[in-house]
């Protein structure tokens, strides 16, 4: 088996063409131990999962800039933005520490994600998740926050000058330009009031003249 794997690897030819489209899959918390347990449970120690048959694989060191054990916000930011950041921050560099709302107002502290680069290249972008669309793993695609838990107004400090993550998705670039947003677990809702439901949140009535009224199932959310 080892000889066959070596021969197959040596026969692989590099594809140097420019990719037309990119799909990034994330198995949240999918560390080597979890993968090993899954492989054994599926078919035994000698079996392989589908992605283990890919011609190229790699292993990343997951840690945040100021913590040995990271969280989803910092690791997803590193994955989507290419920069190691502080624990529990989203889409901002290391000049922003957890809870430092004011620091996120500095444009130079905000990181561009893969979504920004894709939209700048004229490509369509989408976000599909089994968690909330404002959760720490997808949030770095479009948001800049000093706390991964600032998903909605109810979780924000009082009189905060910063926007919560949900508002950034709806109101700011690149979030408002994302073509498809889909919550595959709870199913995406036809309006923002349900998508961003959070105790204590304040969102305009979708039937009013506020900007949120333009977000319809056909344009933004897919059920």
135 annotated as a binding-site residue: yes
pLDDT at 54 over 50: yes
What's the pTM value of the predicted model, to 2 decimals? 0.80
Q: What confidence score (pLDDT) does residue 183 get?
A: 81
Which of 177, 188, 187, 190 has the alpha carbon at shortest distance from 217?
Answer: 190
pLDDT at 28 over 90: no
Which positions ≥6 away from 163 have C-beta within 8 Å? 171, 172
Tell me: is residue 28 an annotated ligand-binding position: yes
Q: Could you give the percent of the chain with pLDDT greater than 70?
A: 82
The predicted pLDDT at position 215 comes to: 47
Say whether pLDDT at 164 is over 90: yes
Task: Give the residues across from 145 on adjacent strands.
Answer: 90
Is position 112 annotated in a ligand binding site? no
pLDDT the model gives residue 201: 52
Residue 72 annotated among the catalytic residues of the structure: yes
CB under 8 Å to 9, separation ≥6 — which residues? Answer: 55
Look at residues 183, 83, 194 and name the one whose alpha carbon lies nearest to residue 140: 83
Q: What is the pLDDT of residue 60?
A: 83
pLDDT tens sequence across 35-45: 999 999 999 99
Share of the chain above pLDDT 90, in %: 59
Instruction: Point out the catalytic residue in the list 72, 113, 145, 201.
Output: 72
Stretch 145-173: mean pLDDT: 94
CB distance 153 to 205 below 8 Å: no
Q: Do the beta carbons of residue 115 and residue 104 sit within 8 Å? A: no
Return all residues near 188 (Cβ < 8 A) that are at least 6 apart.
133, 181, 182, 195, 221, 222, 223
pLDDT average, residue stretch 21-26? 92
pLDDT of residue 198: 53
Average confidence score pLDDT of the chain: 85
């Amino acid at each position: 088996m080892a000889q066959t794997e070596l021969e197959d690897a040596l026969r692989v030819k590099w594809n140097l063409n420019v990719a037309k489209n990119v799909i990034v899959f994330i198995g949240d918390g999918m560390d080597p131990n979890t993968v090993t347990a899954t492989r054994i449970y599926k078919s035994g120690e000698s079996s392989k999962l589908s992605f283990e048959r890919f011609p190229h694989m790699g292993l990343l060191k997951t840690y945040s800039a100021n913590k040995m054990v990271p969280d989803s916000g910092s690791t997803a930011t590193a994955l989507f933005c290419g920069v190691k950041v502080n624990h529990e921050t989203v889409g901002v560099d290391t000049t922003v520490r957890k809870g430092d709302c004011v620091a996120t107002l500095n444009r130079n502290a905000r990181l561009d994600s893969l979504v920004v680069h894709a939209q700048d290249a004229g490509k369509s972008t989408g976000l599909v998740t089994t968690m909330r669309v404002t959760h720490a793993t997808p949030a770095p695609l479009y948001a800049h926050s000093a706390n991964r838990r600032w998903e909605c107004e109810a979780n924000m400090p009082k009189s905060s000058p910063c926007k919560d993550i949900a508002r950034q998705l709806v109101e700011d670039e690149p979030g408002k330009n994302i073509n498809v947003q889909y919550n595959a677990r709870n199913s995406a809702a036809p309006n923002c009031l349900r998508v961003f439901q959070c105790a204590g949140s304040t969102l305009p009535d979708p039937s009013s003249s506020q900007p949120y009224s333009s977000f319809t199932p056909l344009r933004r959310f897919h059920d």
